[in-house]
Structure 1
Amino acid sequence: MRLNDLGIVRTDIARPDPAAVAAVSAFGVATIHEAMGRVGLLRPYIRPAYPGAKLCGPAVTVLLQPGDNWMLHVAAEQVQPGDVLIAGCTTESEDGFFGELLATSLRSRGCAGLVIDGGVRDVADLQEMDFPVFSRAINAKGTVKATLGSVNIPVVVANALVNPGDVVVADVDGVVVVPRDLVGAVAEAAQKREDNEESKRQRFRDGVLGLDLYGMREPLAAAGLEYIDQNDGED
């Protein structure tokens, strides 16, 4: 981040084809991550604020200052139906940036949820609202509104670069970011992976071992794996 990145709100960001977003929303985070070549994951400390939370949608990005949620209120104006708010911070902060009141505001805009590298609170209310939130921490400590950040600039959230309009997918397995221009291709790759896994799933049900399904025996032997019969040498 540079100093001239602060105090900026970019409006009318480009978003991917809604049909492509709907297609990728059918898949879990692990499948999407694998389909993209094992890239795009946020650090695993970002967790759902309550069980069952999941989300998918184009990113409205937010850069926050530590202990200051001013820019979340600014970002709410930029949210369109189906968008996901995703927020990073200029330095580590676990304060409770977000709670039920902001969720109510975002819900009125059609927001699909929040991912934040910071703390949230009012978790019982968020669960009752079924407003999906993924966060670094749950923390009752409140924040101030005093220092500018930015909205809809590239941000780093939990070690992942997120550009406005990228698609954010989150579930119990984690959070993954799909670049805006790759959403359709990733959905197709994820479907192929799912089809392939279903074939393997059926073979596993039939009792086939992974050792044979994946052709592991020969390379294991070449690597020096030995099987020893415990009965060898006994009378």
Structure 2
Amino acid sequence: MHSSVVYRRVTRVDAAVCEAAKTVSVSDVHEAMPLSEARRGLMSPRMRPLNRSLRIAGPAVTAHCAPGDNLMMHRALYLAEPGDVLVVVCQSETSGAQWGDMAARYALRKGLAGVVVQGAIRDTDELERMTFPVWSTAVSPIRPGKAGAGAVNVPVACDGVIVRPGDMIMADGDGVICVPREGAAAAVEAARERMTREDTVAAAIADGAHLWDLAKLQSAFDALDVEEIDGPCPG
């Protein structure tokens, strides 16, 4: 019985959908998706970008690594294709860095979109200078081994979110969301429609309209039976 498994092929979300997704934000897609699906797909605030100004969208290539080891990350990196987002999971998050500058140099040469790591990264100063898109839950200089069992291109639970190989990963300064590949096109289109509506609101604000009125908040406020006093709070 094998201790590890690697799938060399991935059924990827359409590349054109990923290109369109780069024109919208994680927040827009999150709001546009059905609520239950959006909550299942959104990684926690622990998953933070190294460089907040970067935005990516691409199909997931996954790696599940043993504690303190990143051999399976390297196998996934070897198999990944241009435009892919490498999703790496090491549940012993600070047992060894999963990603560093040499991996990023290779990923840049291959044309990967970025990497999302439940676990530690290192060489952060160099990674920032390289502007390679990286999201992670931890930073640690601890050297990883390269001999551990694991899996590549299987469904993984990354920061509590189930990511299947080929699902669309979107990430920006707000965080990371996984969009199932079957619903990715619809989610992106709904997000673009939402952005168009927000452009209209932004133009109205520029013309002097009140956001309170544009968002139609008065009825919700009235339903709370609020006592609103025209004066300062005493004391």
Describe the shift of the 1:222–1:56 C-alpha distance in structure 2 as closer, same or farther (beyond 3 A).
closer
Give 2:8's aligned residue: 11
Judge conservation of contact 1:29–1:175 (CA < 8 Å) in 2: yes
Quickly say closer, same or farther: Cα 1:6–1:204, change in 2 above 3 A. farther
2:48 maps to what in 1? 47
Structure 2 unpaired stretches of 5+: none
Instruction: Provide the aligned C-alpha RMSD in A.
Output: 1.8
Q: CA offsets, 1:75-121, max 9 Å, x none?
A: 122101110100112x3312322111111222232211110001111
Asked if 1 retains the 8 angstrom alpha-carbon contact of 2:22 and 2:55, the reply is no
1:5–1:150 Cα contact (<8 Å) kept: no
Give the structure-1-normalised TM-score: 0.90
Corresponding residue of 1:127: 128
Runs of 5+ consecutive residues of structure 1 not aligned to the other structure: none
Residues of 1 paired with 2:115 and 2:103: CA distance?
A: 10
- Residues 6 and 215 (structure 1), Cα distance of their counterparts in 2 relative to 1, 3 Å cut: farther
1:12-161 → structure 2 map (5 Å cutoff): 12-38=9-35, 39=38, 40-89=41-90, 91-94=91-94, 95-161=96-162
Counterpart residue type for residue 65 of structure 2: L
Q: Counterpart of 2:212?
A: 211
Task: State the one-letter code of the partner of 1:166.
Answer: D
Query: Do the aligned partners of 2:68 and 2:92 also contact (CA within 8 Å) in 1?
Result: no
| C-alpha distance in structure 2 between counterparts of 1:5 and 1:109, whole Å | 30
CA distance in 2, matches of 1:217, 1:51: 35
* Structure-1 residue corresponding to 2:223: 222
| C-alpha distance in structure 2 between counterparts of 1:54 and 1:35, whole Å | 18
Q: TM-score, normalised by structure 2?
A: 0.90
SS at match of 1:93: coil
SS at match of 1:175: strand
Identity %: 36
Query: Does the CA-based 8 Å contact 1:76-1:109 persist in structure 2?
Result: no
Contact 2:93 2:138 in 1 (8 A): no
For residues 203 and 143 of structure 1, the distance between their equivalents in structure 2, rounded to whole angstroms, comes to 54
Counterpart amino acid of residue 30 in structure 2: H
Residues 177-204 of structure 1 deviation map (CA, whole Å, 9 limit, x = unaligned): 1111112111110111001111111222
Report the alpha carbon displacement of residue 51 of structure 1 after superposing the two structures with TM.
4.0
In the aligned structure 2, how far is the partner of 1:6 from the partner of 1:209?
61
2:24 corresponds to which letter in structure 1? Answer: F
CA contact (8 A) 1:50 1:123 kept: no
Q: Which amino acid aligns with 1:24?
A: A
- CA radius of gyration, larger in: 1
Following superposition, which runs of at least 4 residues in structure 1 exceed 4 angstroms of deviation?
none
Matched positions, count: 227
> In the alignment, residue 19 of structure 1 is paired with which amino acid?
A
Using the alignment, how far apart are the partners of 2:226 and 2:215 within structure 1?
16
Distance 2:21 2:3 in 1: 32
